[in-house]
Amino acid sequence: NEGSLWGGRFSDGPADALAALSKSTDFDWRLASYDIAGSRAHARVLNRSGLLTDAELTDMLAALDQLERDVLDGTYVAAESDEDVHGSLERGLLERAGEALGGKLRAGRSRNDQIATMGRMFLRDHARSVSERLLEVVDALIAQAEAHPYAPMPGRTHLQHAQPVLLSHHLLAHGWAFVRDLQRFVDWDRRAAVSPYGSGALAGSSLGLDPVPVAHDLGFDYAVWNSIDGTASRDVFAEFAWIASMVGVNLSRISEEIIFWATKEVKFVTLHDAYSTGSSIMPQKKNPDIAELARGKSGRLLGDFTGLMTTLKALPLAYNRDLQEDKEPVFDAADTLELLLPAFAGQIATLTFNTERMAELAPEGFALATDIAEWLVRQGVPFRSAHELAGEAVQAAENRGVELWDLTDEEYANISEHLTPEVRTVLSTEGSLNSRSSQGGTGPEAVQQQLAEFKRQLAEL
Ligand code: ARG
């Protein structure tokens, strides 16, 4: 079992089928730089506790630097016989530092604490790059909201016309969900910023190695307080995968709307040529593929999260080899979002809104009925009766095939003496919007205040 990390007690090497099953270098190789960073920090802690002389430390660090250069330029790659990134890099170190020196580095560490640490380092970096790209989506939403501060659109519930709202209000509603996702990544990082290095296989080290400076060396705030927890827990991975799937679900919701808005029937948006695709057979087609891929990839992200959670369920402490399955789902989640978000941001930034049509449709479908009812309440009519009277107005308009503002003063008076001609002040999109002026409402001033708070929370991230 030449070159492996665990040959001593075996008289025979692994069967080919086992070696093939066991091998993880195809996906864990991307952790190589993190593993080498961990090795540098580990060499320093061995030196501090007298297990490596200063001269040995210097040679070890030089060999690790050389190894990293060789990995990065592709001179050093995993061999077919390497089980995982840790084993392969130890082989590479031995080749560069010699067996006598290279063989000293493994003291007091295990692949179990290495992989738990490397995974957190990878995810912390990718949480940042995913967040930067998500911020571009949010910026694109802000830019569209600012470009259309007062443009009305039909607000919907059950996909039916409900009440007029401002397009800026609607876009920021999607924006808030993404702001919370960004806040989630920041909050998640407090839990991810704890290093498992020094936990050993599960029980810690007898060599007097202080894990705290190692943690700091690797950019962590703390070292774990429990070596079993450090090597066996993956909730930090799972939480990352959950946040990624929440981002996916939030993307899928705005995607669904974009797809709907781009239909011939709705015609609220035109997609930019650079962010839409054609058909190989139908020359006229212009398809919202980015939105559709986002909607599709939200399923994939949920699959990553669910797969990981299923792996973790009922796993006994401490490390089990099942945990090798923790990496591909979170790698895939990070890769998926890093690929998707730039395209998504471009799609949002280049949407052209058909504001004329949106404004025209905003009050239609009796979307001002609530305004009649609330106007009556302001005249002292109990809401129960007000709701009833506004409903009768809807019925009258519907019977005549007209909208609420087409009913005559006489028709209103016939419904109720309370429905005086003054009701017309709220029978317009503008009147309806202006009246919703309290915090969180769709009134133009409230939306401007909202936008300021939105930006304040973003700046705080
Ligand atoms: N490659 C393993 C993983 O990804 C780490 C090695 C731990 N292996 C072991 N036999 N304890 O989880």
Tens digit of pLDDT at every position of the chain (461 positions):
556 777 788 888 889 999 999 999 999 999 999 999 999 999 999 999 999 999 999 999 999 999 999 999 999 999 999 999 999 999 999 999 999 999 999 999 999 999 999 999 999 999 999 999 999 999 999 999 999 999 999 999 999 999 999 999 999 999 999 999 999 999 999 999 999 999 999 999 999 999 999 999 999 999 999 999 999 999 999 999 999 999 999 999 999 999 999 999 999 999 999 999 888 878 888 899 999 999 999 999 999 999 999 999 999 999 999 999 999 999 999 999 999 999 999 999 999 999 999 999 999 999 999 999 999 999 999 999 999 999 999 999 999 999 999 999 999 999 999 999 999 999 999 999 999 999 999 999 999 999 999 999 999 99
Q: Pocket residues for ligand 1 (CB within 6 Å)?
A: 24, 28, 84, 111-112, 115, 319, 321, 323-324
Pocket test for ligand 1, best of 113, 197, 321, 326 (most atoms within 8 A of CB): 321
Tell me if residue 216 is catalytic.
no
Catalytic residue among 158, 206, 280, 438: 158
- The radius of gyration of the chain's CA atoms, rounded to the nearest angstrom, is 31
Token output for 56: 């040995």
- Establish whether 24 is a catalytic residue: no
CB 351, CB 272: distance < 8 Å: yes
Please report the domains of the chain, with CATH numbers, ordered by start residue. 16-107 (1.10.275.10), 112-201+226-360 (1.20.200.10), 363-449 (1.10.40.30)
Please compute, for residue 376, the number of CA atoms within 13 A of its CA located in the half-sphere on the CB side.
23
CA of 322 to the centre of ligand 1 (A): 9
Q: Which atom of ligand 1 is the closest one to the Cα of 112?
A: 7
Atom 2 in ligand 1: residue holding the nearest Cα: 324
Which residue has tokens 């398809």? 287
Alpha carbons 379 and 426: distance in angstroms, whole number: 13
Ligand 1 centroid to residue 112 C-alpha, Å: 6
Can you tell me the distance from the alpha carbon of 45 to that of 38, in angstroms, rounded to the nearest whole number? 11
CB-side exposure of 65: number of CA atoms within 13 Å?
6
Calculate ∠ Cα 168-169-172, nearest 5°: 85
Q: How far is CA 205 from the centre of its chain?
A: 37
Q: What is the complex's ipTM, to 2 decimals?
A: 0.95
Distance 188 CA to ligand 1 centre (A): 25
C-alpha pair distances (Å), 52 with each of 43, 108, 154, 193, 201: 7, 12, 71, 28, 21
Nearest C-alpha to atom 4 of ligand 1 is from which residue?
A: 324
Distance 402 CA to ligand 1 centre (A): 71
3-state percent helix, strand, coil for the chain, nearest multiple of 5: 65, 5, 30
